[in-house]
Amino acid sequence: MNSSRIKKILILVTILALPGFLYYLLQEKGKNRYKPLAIYGPKQVAKTFHSVRGKNIPDTIYHTIADFKLTNQFGTEVSWDKYAGKIFLVDLFHATNRGFAVDYASKAMGGFSKVYESNTMLHFLSISINPTEDTPQVLKKYGETISANNNRWDLLTGDSTQIYQLINKGLFLDAIKGTENGETKFNYSNLFVLIDSQHRIRGYYEATNNEALSKLDDEIKVLIAEELRNMKDGR
């Protein structure tokens, strides 16, 4: 067999083998390079271990947001159990006495709800920091003005103690009601919070910052990929 024929055979073998080799790299090597999002909040070392390349590594117990029972704009009770297995995009707002920041954030949330309307893994929660005035009826009317998707976006109100417990202790956000020149004013963390299906905080993003919103869009995709991968691996 002459050298020219041998070269042709080697080239053909290489072409045929390349797709399989690339698939192997993506499936096997790609897994090792996958970098999940950070997990926010206090954490502690557990007494249990997991194995990584033959070494026992202590497990970590991360902060998780406790369950709650609040009411949405349709008078329906909402809790974590209602949306088991979902990931969440959460923000704070108030439908009465609101200003530019609230409307901008609601518009941005509405934009994300449209972008991801076909992905049922992601659900949207907006928590009122003015539950006294923001009744379900008020929230329903406000929801109509911002085109809140009935099945994907809950505007939540309820017991003020439970709401502020969720905001301060669960999400680690600030929300304070005060008065200024005789008018009610709210000082609060105008942030979007990304939460995984285990109710762990995976990111904070300024609701009125376009660069932060672009980062949020990217990291929603990363979290969805992580959740799908965990389902596949049985985790």
Stated as kind and residue range, the H or E segment containing 81 is none
Q: How many domains does the chain have?
A: 2
pLDDT < 50 positions in the chain: 9, 12-33
The tally of CA atoms less than 13 A away on the side-chain side of residue 82 is 18
Q: 134 and 81: one domain?
A: yes
At 217 the pLDDT is 97
**Does 39 reside within a domain?**
no
At 25 the pLDDT is 44
Q: What domain range includes position 13? A: 1-33
**Does 47 reside within a domain?**
no
**Does 207 reside within a domain?**
yes
Cβ proximity of 186 and 157 under 8 Å? no
At 21 the pLDDT is 45
At 2 the pLDDT is 58
C-alpha torsion sign, points 162, 227, 217, 31:
positive
Q: 100 and 199: one domain?
A: yes
**Does 84 reside within a domain?**
yes
Q: 7 and 72: one domain?
A: no
Q: 10 and 113: one domain?
A: no
Q: 2 and 117: one domain?
A: no
At 4 the pLDDT is 60
At 180 the pLDDT is 77
pTM flag (> 0.85):
no
Report, in this order, helix, strand and coil percent for the chain, each rounded to 5. 40, 30, 30
At 18 the pLDDT is 46
Q: 20 and 130: one domain?
A: no
Rounded Cα gap, residues 64 and 215, in angstroms: 23
Report how far apart, in Å, the C-alpha atoms of 74 and of each of 150, 161, 164, 219 are: 9, 21, 21, 30
Task: List the beta bridge partners of residue 71.
Answer: 77, 157
Q: 24 and 69: one domain?
A: no
Rounded Cα gap, residues 195 and 7, in angstroms: 55
Tokens 């080799």, residue located: 21
E strand segments, the chain: 43-52, 55-62, 70-71, 77-78, 87-93, 122-128, 153-156, 175-180, 183-188, 191-195, 201-206
Q: 78 and 26: one domain?
A: no
Q: 116 and 174: one domain?
A: yes
Q: 82 and 11: one domain?
A: no
**Does 42 reside within a domain?**
no
